[in-house]
Every structure is written in structure tokens, then in C-alpha cells.
Amino acid sequence: MSNSHSDTIPLHPSSQSDIDEIENLINASVQSGPATVLPARPPSPPRASIPVSSNPFIQSQIPPPPPQSSSSNQKVPSVAAAPPPPSVGNSSRIAATGFGPAPNTLTEPVWDTVKRDLSRIVSNLNLVVFPNPYREDPGKALRDWDLWGPFFFIVFLGLTLSWSASVKKSEVFAVAFALLAAGAVILTLNVLLLGGHIIFFQSLSLLGYCLFPLDIGALICMLKDNVIVKIVVVSVTLAWSSWAAYPFMSSAVNPRRKALALYPVFLMYVSVGFLIIAIN
Amino acid sequence: MDLSQPVEENYANPKTCFFHVLFKASALAFYILSTLFANSFVIIFVITVVLAALDFWVVKNVSGRILVGLRWWNEINEQGESIWRFECLDQESLARINQKDSMLFWWTLYLNAVAWGIFGIFSMVRLEVDYLLVVAVCFSLAIANIIGFTKCRKDARNKIQAFASRTIASRFSSTLQSAFSLV
């Protein structure tokens, strides 16, 4: 059993194939792009011991469907076939409770994505603007933030104001849009600088959704041009918007600084209210 | 297999590629040709920004998935912290991705951002604040997608390497075991 004979000893059959696989994997990891990888055999299924922070590799059992495919039941078998391993930390719990997307969103049909996004907008709107049991715990409520709702509400408010204006329509729209967008960013920075704990995009999303009452107010004011009606409607919707924004903003900061965080929000909504009343 | 390598492969998902390019091109085209279409700035703003937002959605949710097999989003966990999640297809499917699709995807993403950047410089030079607002919105949407997908691609590469090295380690140890069982 000298060393010089080690090369000529015939290997165990499974060892030879193992060595082939090792060589392929070494080549695969050395090469730069994933597109040049050529697996020698189908890769083994993801092991439960891989500590990845996001979802494990998704086995795509079918080639990606064309965008026009409307069968939604192909999502169901692929979700059942690729369950997240229980040892992966938060991601599986979140996916199981339905807060995040289902594990196999990579191969779902386009219509499913659209429906999911639309239903998320509606549910966020309900959570923020209407009374519901989650208001006591604001951090949980807008967990699934999105910016589509706020985008739509800001544009709608700008359009309504611009339509109501008889002169300088473009300036009104640009001012309204810039005021609301920059205002939301600045208000969020205000909370962060006061030492509050709030997530940037979650707060932007919240402030955008709280514009919904003012949208309704602006629409009513556009349709009815009476000053008294305008003042009443704007006051009511202003109070509604502030009530919607209050729990989230106040819970994010130190109780002694609550007023400092809430006052600018109220100020912004008051200025938008004045804009609605003053436009004629 | 070797004979077909030099032949140019076609786009694997022509419809998706078309939509991927359509909204970007129409947002840019509408912005450039805006004075031909509408007098009012409001219409220009709304249509350009809506097209840019649609493009953002299409790239993030549809063409990212289908053309390059990547997806990214943000979640807030139980403790109230925000986590960025990245998802990618497994190694075998990633290897099967059409090269042309992938090149089209990345190149149009970068060119779109560059084009909006140039328009931004133009409107800054001309001191047109209104149009600068439009450009700022479209540019930030483009940048958001670029950053998201670049991070997702890096994450995918790291995962593949980690998976490969872990598999090498386990295969190596099993080979050692089978080698020692012979002796």
C-alpha cells in the first residue's frame, strides 16, 4: 500500500461519480455567472440545514407560464410541493401566516399578482382609514405596506384640485403633488429625527392612505361650489384624516414628544384643506 | 448540442420582452413628444408618471420573474423591522434562462435610467421646475428597480456559491467516508 500505487487502485463506483460531481461543482462555483453553470445531474432538493435569510431555492416544476395564462390552480400544487423547511427562521412563519407572499410567487400567473396587489391596496385602506380592531396596535396594522394606494390618492387629489381651478391649472397640480410628496417625506424625517421608531416606507404609505378622506372632500367640493358646504366638508374630512393618522404617528415617538410629531401632520392636512377651499 | 451553440437563439419570451420595453419606451416617447399631444402640463405629467409607474410594476412583478428569474420585495416582521427579501429560481432553471432575454432586461433597465437622467439635466439647465418634477419621479422609479434587481442578483449568486460549497463539503465528507470504508 505504498503511495505510488494510490493512482492505480480502482475506485469504488460511487466514489468516481462523487468525484465527478465535486469537479462539476468546483467548476460551477468558480465561474462568474449563473447562466454558465451546467449541472451534471439534477441538483439535490434544498436541505433543511441551509440557513438562508430569504426563501430557499424554488423548484420550478414547470417552465414559466406565458403572461396570458389564466389558470390559477397551478399555484396551488406548487405551493404544496415546496413547503418552506421549518428550521428557517422568520420567513416560513411569515409565509404561513399570510403576511408575506406565498413561497412560490416566482411562477405564478400575472393575473394572480395583479389581484394580490389590488386586494392589498383595499385591505390597507380599510386598516388605515376605517375603524377596525387593529388600531390599538399600529405597528401590526400597516405591516404589508405598499405605495400604489398613496400614489393613486395623491394623483387623484392633484387632478381634482386642478380640475376645480379655473386658472393656472398646471401650477395647482404641480404644487399639490410636490407639496404632498415632499410633505410625506419631511414628516417621516421629522418622526425619525425626534427619535421615533418608524419605518420610512411604512410611514410614507400611511400618510398617503390618510389622504383618502381629503380626496373625497375634494371631489365633493369640486361638484358643489358653495362656500359653506366646502368649509363643512373640508373640516369633516380633515378631522377624519387626522384621526386616521393619529395612532400610527403617536405610537412611534416618545409620549413627551407626541405633539411635536403630530402637529406637522395636522398642519399639512390643514394646508391641503385650505387649498381645497380656496380653489374656485 | 455543440453544433447548436453558435446559432443565435431567439427570445424565449417575446411577449414579456415586448411589454418590458413598451411602457419604458412610451413613457420616454410621450415625454419627448408631449407638446405634440397635449397643451396642458397636467396631462403630460399624469400620463408620463402613470406609464412610468406601470413600467415599474411590470418590471418588478412580471418581467423580472420571467426574463431573469429574480424577485425582490420588502416585508415587516413581527418585531416591526423591515426586511428586504430576495427570491430567485433554483440553479437549474437559472441555467436555462435565455441569454437574449437577460441582456435585453438589464440593458433596457440601465438605458432607461440614463435617459431620464439626461432629461433631468436638460430641465435643470432650462430651469423648468415642472418638468424636473416629472423627470425626478420617473428617474427614482427606474433607480429603485435597478437597485432592487442588482441586490437580488448578488444575493442569488451568493446563495448559489453557498449551496455549492456546502454541497462540496458534504460530498467530500461522504467520499472520504466511502474511501475509508475500503481500507
Q: pLDDT for B102-116, tens place per residue?
A: 888 889 999 999 999
Q: How confident is the model at residue B137 (pLDDT cuts 50, 70, 90)?
A: very high
Rounded CA separation B29/B115 (Å): 11
| pLDDT score of B77 more than 50 | yes
Looking at residue B146, its pLDDT comes to: 92
Task: Enumerate the residues of chain A whose CB falls inside 8 A of the CB of residue B81.
Answer: 199
R_g of chain A computed on alpha carbons: 28
Our CA-based measurement puts residue A194 at a distance from the nearest CA of chain B, in whole angstroms, of 18
Q: Which of A172, A185, A150 is nearest to A265 (CA)?
A: A185
Q: Is there a contact between A201 and B82 if contact means CB atoms under 8 Å apart?
A: yes
Q: What percent of chain B has pLDDT over 70?
A: 93
pTM: 0.69
DSSP B108-151: HHHHHHHHHHHHHHHHHHTT-HHHHHHHHHHHHHHHHHHHHHHH
Residue B80, chain A, CB below 8 Å: the answer is yes
Looking at residue A71, its pLDDT comes to: 36
More confident residue, B22 or A280: B22
Looking at residue B90, its pLDDT comes to: 73
By CA distance, what is B61's nearest residue in A? A113
Task: Enumerate the residues of chain A whose CB falls inside 8 A of the CB of residue B174.
Answer: 18
Q: Is there a contact between B19 and A12 if contact means CB atoms under 8 Å apart?
A: no
Position A148, amino acid? W
Looking at residue B11, its pLDDT comes to: 73
Q: Are B30 and B120 in contact (CB under 8 A)?
A: no
Residue A54, SS3 per DSSP:
coil
Q: Are A187 and A244 in contact (CB under 8 A)?
A: no
Q: What is the ipTM of this complex?
A: 0.77
Q: Are B88 and B155 in contact (CB under 8 A)?
A: yes
Q: Which of A91, A141, A54 is nearest to B71 (CA)?
A: A54
Task: Enumerate the residues of chain A whose CB falls inside 8 A of the CB of residue B151.
Answer: none
Helices (H), chain A: 13-30, 75-81, 90-97, 110-129, 138-141, 148-164, 169-193, 200-209, 212-223, 227-252, 258-278
Looking at residue A82, its pLDDT comes to: 36
Q: Is there a contact between B164 and A28 if contact means CB atoms under 8 Å apart?
A: yes
Q: How confident is the model at residue B56 (pLDDT cuts 50, 70, 90)?
A: very high
Rounded CA separation B139/B119 (Å): 9
- Domain extents in chain A: 123-279
Rounded CA separation A164/A131 (Å): 31
Looking at residue A11, its pLDDT comes to: 57
> Residue B104: which residues within 8 A CB-CB, separation 6 or more?
B11, B17, B20, B21, B67
Q: Is there a contact between A29 and B160 if contact means CB atoms under 8 Å apart?
A: yes
Task: Enumerate the residues of chain A whose CB falls inside 8 A of the CB of residue B46.
Answer: 155, 159
> Residue B17: which residues within 8 A CB-CB, separation 6 or more?
B11, B63, B67, B101, B104, B105
> Residue A177: which residues within 8 A CB-CB, separation 6 or more?
A154, A155, A158, B45, B133
Low-confidence ranges of chain A (pLDDT < 70): 1-108, 133-141
Q: Are A95 and A86 in contact (CB under 8 A)?
A: no
Rounded CA separation B22/A89 (Å): 40
Looking at residue A237, its pLDDT comes to: 93
Residue A70, SS3 per DSSP:
coil
Q: Is there a contact between A57 and B91 if contact means CB atoms under 8 Å apart?
A: yes
Q: What percent of chain B has pLDDT over 90?
A: 24
Looking at residue A231, its pLDDT comes to: 93
C-alpha distances (whole Å) from B173 to each of A49, B40, B169 are 16, 71, 6
Q: Is there a contact between B166 and A50 if contact means CB atoms under 8 Å apart?
A: yes
Render pLDDT for A57-94 as a digit per residue (tens, 0 to 9): 444 444 444 433 333 333 333 333 333 333 333 333 33
Looking at residue A10, its pLDDT comes to: 56
Which residue in this structure is represented by grid cell 371631489?
Answer: A219
